[in-house]
Chains A and B, each alone.
Chain A
């Protein structure tokens, strides 16, 4: 009797062990529909491109990679369902995160299931706080670093004496302003913050704020506005119409393709910074970057923007860690990334901080031809 059971168990166990090496599953969860749909598709496309390139070179650990892509609809509740589906489909890694609330809602679900979670874009500081996922990794830059580069430009390069803020009234906008003001203190900024004007994310009419700013006439106006398809282009247009003389200093990452498309030449003269450009130095001299730009252009017929680069880098960083550790285990892979350098990504050779944040390298730029989205890197 006991023997029969043992035999049956043995048989079942042999059935359960795969005879062939299974494919490695790379999951992506981004918004693929609605207003943020095109952005999410860009990141997903970049992930697919990178995975395809790895497969062409023979895969990882001798196994092929497959991409499972899902749509979070920019809604945390939907993201949670998709994360649960990833668990059911036994994804080996999930690359996710266009907006922070969705990431924050999915993190604990994936963490409890022991799935390696790479956050590509979402910026909230809470993501790396360790409470939702002790092995978090993020590719995009954080507000803290963004504030440092903007503050440095205003104080050291522009040598502004008077500064004003035009701030989006939420955690993103207010958090960025607080961080910039902290950086001002660190840099012993001798000038003065003369005015702060606030607006809501959905606003498209900024004439009241701009009139007040014009009256104050500061050397620089530091702007946060994450509504890149409607609010920001409207703001840029109205800024020019009001004929302000102050330098428009945009927070990191706000000058996306849509802003150039809608506001065109009104963008000329705006100064901002970002961490990836397909056509600016130093990226034009990083072979991994130029190869990625060419491959992306060939596959999708357009230049990859920063979001695409973030998706591609997420795959590269994860694959690099899997290759060096010969493991897919979440803890092992995460520990090979957090606090370690990674060579040969689309961002060049990068380094991760102990909390999982990729150390950003910025390029400060000025818009010279807004209609064609031409930028000029500033020293």
Chain B
């Protein structure tokens, strides 16, 4: 499943084997928790990796295709969590409705934030998006109607009515198919986006603004569009996280998630389809399986982020490419 979209067009020109490989990888991916022993920890760890990876893909689009660092995506992550929690606890709405509401709220918030930051670049863009997340955190922390500083408890199992039957999932085992499906949908969406007109134009605007301008592209429209579509991706991850954890609180704005998003994306390298997924998997595996204790984990996470950014801005993939080139 790690090579669904490897950028080697010369070898994968024939569509049939490629489709077969993709299907096999999807099947392996789906049964991965079983292959790892089928324990509840295998399920919960992989479900968490899938959810966090989807969370990272929202940031990935903005970083890879706009070249901007959004520090405000915890806002969309929290919108997903709060929407799922509030609508399911207070109004008993099912998973489809809360997901749709999440998408709607994220689009609205991103449209507003995107419009405000339309003229800002780089540092100022990061700062404004961060400020937005800080303001949202204060609102969530102090507004008792949506949970206040204690958050919202008692989120019932995820219910997804499917025509005649209803999917209902509370345990990690039950949620894994949903998380896996959400991850696949996200990967398919990103793969599509990379080849889409918007994706290629966005890259052109970032890499060669003069060319883009000469072709009559309005860079502001492109920026806004990319930012807006990135929001519901992170939002839907937050939506599923609310059901997985059954508790939502202002901690969804915490830097734990923000650092996770940024590190997972830059660790492997930008514009690599499975990059954020592998990055998330590495980070979670380190925290859960090779944990050195809270203080050391944070030091490691921060150092990895700094070292990668300073020495290998192209990520581990770039390092690997440079290494293999010099050898052969």
How far in angstroms is the closest Cβ of chain B from A297? Answer: 27
CB-based nearest B residue for A129? B153
Q: How far is the CA of A109 from the CA of B246 in the complex (A)?
A: 8
CB of B288 within 8 Å of the partner chain: yes
CB of B302 within 8 Å of the partner chain: no
Find out whether the CB atom of B154 lies under 8 angstroms from the CB atom of A77. Answer: no
Of A76, A100, A126, most buried by chain B (CB within 10 Å of CB) is A76
Chain A residues with CB under 8 A of B142: 169-170
How far in angstroms is the closest Cβ of chain A from B327? Answer: 38
CB of B170 within 8 Å of the partner chain: yes
- Of A27-35, A146-154, A320-328, which stretch is located at the interface? A27-35
Of B141, B142, B144, B151, most buried by chain A (CB within 10 Å of CB) is B151
CB-based nearest A residue for B141? A170
Find out whether the CB atom of B251 lies under 8 angstroms from the CB atom of A132. Answer: no
Q: How far is the CA of A14 from the CA of B138 in the complex (A)?
A: 57
- Of B24-32, B38-46, B219-227, B272-280, which stretch is located at the interface? B38-46
A124 and B150 in contact (CB under 8 A), knowing A81-B48, A113-B40, A170-B141? Answer: yes
Contact residues of B between 10 and 69, Cβ < 8 Å to A: 39-41, 44-45, 48
0/1 per residue, A48-83, Cβ < 8 Å to B?
000000000000000000000001010111101100
How far in angstroms is the closest Cβ of chain B from A174? Answer: 9
CB of B263 within 8 Å of the partner chain: no
Find out whether the CB atom of A71 lies under 8 angstroms from the CB atom of B293. Answer: yes
Q: How far is the CA of A73 from the CA of B254 in the complex (A)?
A: 12
Contact residues of A between 294 and 320, Cβ < 8 Å to B: none
Find out whether the CB atom of A75 lies under 8 angstroms from the CB atom of B171. Answer: no
A171 and B149 in contact (CB under 8 A), knowing A85-B288, A108-B245, A112-B171? Answer: yes
CB of B126 within 8 Å of the partner chain: no
CB-based nearest A residue for B295? A33
From A37, A77, A131, contact of B256 by CB (8 A)? A77
How far in angstroms is the closest Cβ of chain A from B138? Answer: 9
CB of B105 within 8 Å of the partner chain: no
CB of B206 within 8 Å of the partner chain: no
Find out whether the CB atom of B247 lies under 8 angstroms from the CB atom of A76. Answer: yes
CB of B230 within 8 Å of the partner chain: no
0/1 per residue, A203-227, Cβ < 8 Å to B?
0000000000000000000000000
CB-based nearest A residue for B249? A101
From B40, B144, B249, B287, contact of A88 by CB (8 A)? B40
CB of A105 within 8 Å of the partner chain: yes
Find out whether the CB atom of B40 lies under 8 angstroms from the CB atom of A32. Answer: no
How far in angstroms is the closest Cβ of chain A from B123? Answer: 25
CB-based nearest B residue for A85? B41
Find out whether the CB atom of B294 lies under 8 angstroms from the CB atom of A77. Answer: no
CB-based nearest B residue for A105? B247
Find out whether the CB atom of B294 lies under 8 angstroms from the CB atom of A112. Answer: no
CB of B193 within 8 Å of the partner chain: no
Q: How far is the CA of A88 from the CA of B288 in the complex (A)?
A: 12
CB of A87 within 8 Å of the partner chain: yes
CB of B312 within 8 Å of the partner chain: no
How far in angstroms is the closest Cβ of chain A from B272? Answer: 25
Q: How far is the CA of A301 from the CA of B35 in the complex (A)?
A: 49
Q: How far is the CA of A172 from the CA of B45 in the complex (A)?
A: 33
Chain B residues with CB under 8 A of A112: 170-171
Chain B residues with CB under 8 A of A228: none
CB of B257 within 8 Å of the partner chain: yes
Find out whether the CB atom of B153 lies under 8 angstroms from the CB atom of A32. Answer: no
Q: How far is the CA of A76 from the CA of B257 in the complex (A)?
A: 11
A88 and B246 in contact (CB under 8 A), knowing A71-B293, A73-B294, A78-B256? Answer: no
Please report whether the interface of chain B is mostly helix, strand, loop or mixed according to DSSP: helix
How far in angstroms is the closest Cβ of chain A from B170? Answer: 6
A81 and B150 in contact (CB under 8 A), knowing A33-B295, A37-B294, A171-B144? Answer: no
Find out whether the CB atom of A105 lies under 8 angstroms from the CB atom of B293. Answer: no
Find out whether the CB atom of B293 lies under 8 angstroms from the CB atom of A33. Answer: yes
Contact residues of A between 92 and 107, Cβ < 8 Å to B: 100-101, 104-105, 107
From B44, B141, B144, B297, contact of A84 by CB (8 A)? B44
Q: How far is the CA of A172 from the CA of B154 in the complex (A)?
A: 20
Find out whether the CB atom of B150 lies under 8 angstroms from the CB atom of A171. Answer: yes
How far in angstroms is the closest Cβ of chain B from A17? Answer: 19
CB of B70 within 8 Å of the partner chain: no
From A37, A84, A104, A107, contact of B249 by CB (8 A)? A104
CB of B148 within 8 Å of the partner chain: yes
CB-based nearest B residue for A74? B294
Find out whether the CB atom of B294 lies under 8 angstroms from the CB atom of A108. Answer: no
**Interface CB pairs A-B, < 8 A, 24:** A33-B293, A73-B298, A76-B249, A77-B254, A78-B256, A78-B294, A81-B287, A84-B40, A84-B44, A84-B172, A85-B288, A87-B41, A88-B39, A101-B150, A101-B251, A108-B246, A126-B150, A126-B153, A129-B153, A131-B153, A132-B153, A132-B246, A170-B141, A171-B150
Sample of 19 more A-B contacts, CB < 8 Å, known A77-B245, A124-B150: A34-B294, A37-B294, A73-B294, A75-B251, A76-B249, A76-B251, A77-B257, A78-B256, A78-B287, A81-B287, A84-B44, A84-B45, A88-B39, A112-B170, A126-B150, A129-B153, A131-B154, A132-B247, A171-B150
